Homo-oligomer: A and B are copies of this chain.
């Protein structure tokens, strides 16, 4: 059943070439040439229903409900009885099971059972049910046990086929583990060595810490303190007693820190980064080969023999393009056809057909010049010399600059005390200036284009305009002031107009979507740690309202914390008493493990058993050593790629053709509009605001390649790798491609061409 398989693959992959392949099958089936329509109508209906947005949304809804249950279960933010939460959980599990059954129906049995994802979900459902039954029956006889299966809930989030990106992030985490492990062992060896040394050096001197407890007298204590010192959390406190005793002892700590903090932490980053690149390259290579494989498959479905070669006929090509990109303008389609069918022979050869996915991936902006509504309404007034002067003025760069300066001055005024009456008058002045600016711009530019083109900045302006009035009324609501400050973001436009800044800002914006993946990864890890933390540390530390003067308020409701740095720092709200608090604590630990590590770990270790330290160390290893390093590796790679960015071959071909056809616009003319391309996501807007009358004079349609923007860094890397595949290459077999391993790659002479 090639159709359903193709559709299935297309949905799974959702890339353009998958869609192309599926469309090719559909077209072919419609014309009923050589592929029989094997699948039953019921299977197709099931398939469509599985991929329908309602069932997908329902699945996500149940995943969210399942995860959110932690908010209502003991220890709860909003307590609900166990019966309610367990019924909700069983509902969710039923939904997951139903979804899985549905998936099994539309997937070949072999494929279904070979997929560990499905097995994972099933095992988790069973485990959760067992846990629910045990907990419920113990609860009924009033024995409190642990709901351990709650830590497994993220499994559903990860393993449903829709969460491909998070799974990929997990894969890169898993791939890094073996190499990291070796460095970690070496690192632990070093820490233990230094601990032994410290024991011998300081153990018998009877030194005391600032809190008066014995200093460095127990090997495990020392190892823990030294591990924390790697995070630099307890420096220089851990060093002060020895340093006070003798200046030379500080050398011990300096050497320790150089070796374990600086060198080993860099090695961790190096290993993670190296692995990240290696596996990224492999995945990209896989993708590139898969793409080629699918495009060849699509070609083989549609090909007809003309002369000696197989080709795809122009009519078929058109239909295919229209199925895949139904909202493409006909001018755009024509442009692509002219590029693909260079000799205008009425058919597209294999080489050009294989490029189709790339061609469709390139955003081509079609520009049509529209007249201003005022011009249509009263042409004589609008075209008068005074009006033209105003328009010219508004279009001039200096107009923009003047208002940028005004915004800057406004920013300074905001920073100053607003109680001063002069400043509040100035606010009114700024407001009127902004309104004048908006009116002038509306007068000069086509209003529709104005809002479409720079949605972001302009809506900001409007919001500000509204705010300027409302803030007089609700002066106490500072949140509205924030909206005002968002307007200062317009200054980003000034920054971005400088080339050097542009690379940085563009890259930062490009990596935005991929960062959401990391968000998912971090969420899953946090969730597991939060559930465990809630089970272990629940209720140990309590937060009291500062106005409520309970005797325990100062020690967070726990006498064990008397006099501790934890209580002194008023950290009581950093607790594990509900999911939201637990997440905040974990965020703090990630962010400022340096400091909090010790404070929190010690705080919690004071009130619970020493094993609490293990929890915090484990969290440090997983989140800081692994995830943060992968994140840094990702940002590094994104920047290296951005610094070495060039136009691709396909882009060049398109640009050449655009120029040949005489519908091109010089890039330089669009310099001013460039920011827009980087900021808004929809590039098919109208581009008629650059005030060159030359363009106005020409009627019709203009095309240009939209900014060098890629949805993901991966897309960019993929493009780079494609050049390595020979076009004649028929592609490896599908199985072979899917089993590529990093070590398969042909070893190149290692010269570092990544930056130049």
Contacts and interface: CB of A to CB of B under 8 A. Distances in A.
Interface of A: 179, 182-183, 185-186, 189, 193, 195-197, 199-201, 203-204, 210, 219, 232-233, 235-237, 239-240, 243-244, 247, 250, 254, 257, 261-263, 266-267, 269-271, 273-274, 277-278, 281, 411, 414-416, 476, 478-479, 481-482, 484-485, 488-489, 491-492, 495, 498, 500-501, 504-505, 508, 543, 546, 568-571, 573-574, 580, 584, 587-588, 591-592, 594-596, 628, 631-632, 635-636, 638-641, 643-646, 717, 720-721, 723-724, 742, 745-756
Contacts of A751: 720-721, 723-724, 753
A236 B644 CA distance: 39
A196 B411 contact: yes
Contact of A571 (B240, B592, B721): B240
A510 to B, nearest CB: 12
13 contacts: A186-B495, A189-B492, A193-B485, A196-B415, A201-B478, A239-B588, A240-B570, A254-B591, A257-B591, A269-B632, A281-B752, A592-B594, A750-B753
A182 B504 contact: yes
A631 B263 CA distance: 9
A562 B594 CA distance: 26
B200 A481 contact: yes
A236 to B, nearest CB: 5
Nearest to A195: B415
Across the A-B interface, the 7 shortest Cβ-Cβ residue pairs: A644-B750, A235-B592, A594-B594, A270-B639, A200-B481, A266-B635, A232-B592
A281 B492 CA distance: 34
Contacts of A183: 504
A155 to B, nearest CB: 26
A485 B200 contact: yes
A108 to B, nearest CB: 36
B505 A186 contact: yes
A249 to B, nearest CB: 11
Contacts of A591: 232, 235, 254, 257, 261
B267 A631 contact: no
A239 B263 CA distance: 31
Contact of A414 (B196, B273, B495): B196
A281 B588 CA distance: 40
A196 B488 contact: yes
In this complex, which of A195, A263, A498, A595 has the most chain B Cβ atoms within 10 angstroms of its Cβ? A595
A247 B580 contact: yes
Given A257-B591, A755-B278, A263 B635 contact: yes
Contacts of A641: 750, 752
Contacts of A752: 277, 281, 640-641, 717, 720, 753-754
B250 A584 contact: yes
Given A189-B492, A235-B588, 8 more contacts: A200-B481, A244-B543, A269-B632, A277-B755, A592-B594, A641-B750, A646-B747, A724-B751
Contacts of A266: 631-632, 635-636
A554 to B, nearest CB: 11
Given A179-B500, A481-B200, A495-B186, A271 B755 contact: no
Contacts of A543: 244
Nearest to A419: B204
Contact of A232 (B546, B595, B636): B595
Nearest to A279: B755
B274 A639 contact: yes
A253 to B, nearest CB: 8
Nearest to A265: B632
Given A485-B200, A591-B232, A750-B646, A639 B189 contact: no
Contacts of A635: 263, 266-267, 270
Contact of A748 (B574, B750, B756): B756
A72 to B, nearest CB: 17
Nearest to A204: B478
A414 B240 contact: no
A501 B588 CA distance: 33
A193 B485 CA distance: 8
Contacts of A278: 755-756
A196 B408 CA distance: 12
Given A236-B588, A495-B186, A277 B193 contact: no
Contact of A274 (B201, B243, B416, B640): B640
A240 B640 contact: no
Contacts of A243: 573, 584
Contacts of A501: 182, 185-186
B750 A478 contact: no
Contacts of A179: 500
Contacts of A210: 568-570
B755 A281 contact: yes
A438 to B, nearest CB: 22
A546 to B, nearest CB: 6
A278 B752 CA distance: 10
Nearest to A481: B200
Nearest to A247: B580
B200 A478 contact: yes
A186 B281 CA distance: 31
A228 B95 CA distance: 48
Nearest to A280: B752
A416 B750 CA distance: 49
Contact of A631 (B233, B262, B271, B273): B262
A632 B265 CA distance: 9
Contacts of A185: 495, 501
Contacts of A479: 201
A4 to B, nearest CB: 37
Nearest to A491: B189
Contacts of A750: 641, 644-646, 720, 753-754, 756
Contacts of A639: 267, 270-271, 274
Given A244-B546, A636-B266, A592 B755 contact: no
Of A635, A643, A753, most B-chain CB atoms within 10 Å: A753
